[in-house]
A and B are shown apart, each in its own frame.
Chain A
């Protein structure tokens, strides 16, 4: 193949050439002439980031399980590679066939975080494909996008033809089959898009007309032709029965997460008010422990991995956790496989669980109290107490750990300077707890790492009405906290907040931001999530040129009743419920978790077993 020979001329001059050659174990090769649909699964970030993503592994396996479809992987080349590709006139290609992206029927992107959006434009451009959807005629190179950020995809509507809302294991196949039919019967792009809009979870932005009020807020969103007025997300009814890959592509090079993953459940019972995932993946659906064990074992056998990770939003809330761990630990010991358990909660972190975790992890423990004072934790509905935090730390220290890492958010609704000081006070008390503990490791001092990120209000959460703290306020709070620390045992980590500001703009942005994104990308903005390549000034310029402001999107408090840019999208949770939660937050009132008491969020209506509760 021509591209291969050309690559030989410069691939040794770029960092990590293994990113660009494919050929890994379990990657799938088909004859391009024998399939009806060629699908390019594009991850708008580097190979190492993209290859760690579970959703891509699921959909890659699923699409390739269909004889008529060949799905290949595409990642954003790092800048050194991009430069070489542009110099040598090489277009972006699929890692399996080395064929150019413009040879593919469907080009699918996953939207995992807002700051990856500009990479989509760059990847299309690097493929020689027009970035604007309206300029792409015909069925070829249809650009679709899925993933969590599609719950408000409006900033991307100028570039993407179709968004897939919710969980793709079933409706993606339905869509691809419709595309196949359209291709066989020579449909126009318009006909395909209109037909596709009737599939649950398929959102065709060009079939919606958005008008604005004088103050810039959305006035009305009108469905055109036969498109539904609201688009409901796609959902998997039974997690134990849905498709899960028997193998993963095993990368040669080191990636962020390079291990077998089993997804123990989808959704979360907790309802932490800041957490978008906690609302858009509702309701909770657990996988059967036997299914999980066999999936985990199958993955280890087909990949040769030495580690299985149990993935979910809150793994210690999985009702079958004890049985699952017992069986998996037996297997892992026998087969020299490590178990890893991210996302454990602080309030049900038992000694028994620690014993099990200790066998599998040697590094420090990380907890996420998210806020420093009880009042603040009640506002965000974290539902943990200081006692929970202390008892977890005590168990950890007595179990031989000498360092803990604590995650917090800054800029939460109703937050005062006292709440910020509360974070440091809490860390200080944990240092004190360690020092007074009799059963701790002798002769070693403790280290408490406080890591603070900037809160970004997201759609479909009770905080969707809240205006983000402006940059000045955030920086003032960060500096105050830094000065407030007296102990050398506390390490304070915080992050430049400008990326959080841009994230806030896009998270709740509207269609007018497409132009801003285009202009910023033209100015050289992409790989925005990589600090060394983030140019906030260029973004501000682009906003200004479009007559838009950061304040309007990020810092403005929304009134109840405002039409949001995502008002025509339905993720199950009702606006009335979110409003109730917002009001409770302002009164520092908590809401019990779904197992304790149903709070009527509305997500149960997504399940076919009507009327009943989501969880036992």
Chain B
């Protein structure tokens, strides 16, 4: 239904008031079963959860009003994350602690809000993301040796899909391996990759590794730990 005539937000006075409302940033984690839910489906899930929780979210004013909502750095299907950021505009002031509680009650159990705050920095400031990448395998020593060999090449060329087709790209300078840990089910690498406008997902590296070195990896588990801005500070 076209709600434009009935949108309670849709008065001149209200619009002026809401224009003065700052954007709110919701940090949440998405783990467990939820990693198999695509970004588009998460968007719908968030809308319904906000509605269930009764959060006064501002709706866009077009012919087909919808909740105003943006995601700072959409997460790929299959990734888990502890630091997802969703920006909203509210129509009235709310207590962030209470909003967090209400929202957590309304969300599916694998999506948990950790923090709500006013938006400090634009998503355009995002430059890097920190990931834990676990290569699930039996022959850990050998896989680690091959992986170290693989990432120490002078260049690592992946064929990246773009809107205009495919083009080769050297991701060597875009990935920084920070730590390596042997864990129960395999090897866990902590890595920082380029993120934001130019985005390098860790699977670009690991998929190529599996393909080129022909190694037997059962699964690649990826957890996004942190997002950084171009000045090196944590994105908030």
Contacts and interface: CB of A to CB of B under 8 A. Distances in A.
A237 to B, nearest CB: 34
A252 interface: yes
Interface stretch (A10-18, A185-193, A513-521, A576-584): A10-18
Contacts of B38: 18, 253
B51 A304 contact: yes
Given A12-B77, A303-B52, A25 B107 contact: yes
Interface string B88-123: 000000000000000000111110000000000000
A295 interface: no
A21 B219 contact: no
A236 to B, nearest CB: 29
Given A23-B110, A302-B52, A304-B48, A9 B41 contact: no
Interface in A450-509: none
B78 interface: yes
Nearest to A254: B41
A284 B219 CA distance: 55
Contacts, number: 78
Contacts of A336: 3, 59, 65
A165 interface: no
Contacts of B185: 5
A302 B105 CA distance: 11
Given A23-B32, A336-B3, A18 B41 contact: yes
A8 B136 CA distance: 10
Contacts of B158: none
Contacts of B48: 25, 250, 303-306
A252 B65 contact: no
Contact of A9 (B44, B45, B218): B218
A402 interface: no
B34 interface: yes
B36 interface: yes
Contacts of A386: none
B52 A301 contact: yes
A522 interface: no
Contacts of A18: 36-38, 41
B1 A252 contact: no
Nearest to A14: B36
A304 B52 contact: yes
B67 to A, nearest CB: 9
Which of A5, A304, A359 has the most C-beta atoms of chain B within 10 angstroms of its own C-beta?
A304
Interface of A: 5, 8-9, 11-12, 17-18, 20-25, 250, 252-254, 301-306, 332-334, 336, 338-339, 359-360, 362
5 contacts: A11-B78, A25-B107, A253-B38, A304-B50, A359-B1
Given A22-B33, A304-B51, 12 more contacts: A5-B185, A11-B36, A11-B78, A12-B77, A17-B36, A18-B41, A25-B108, A253-B37, A305-B48, A333-B1, A336-B3, A339-B1
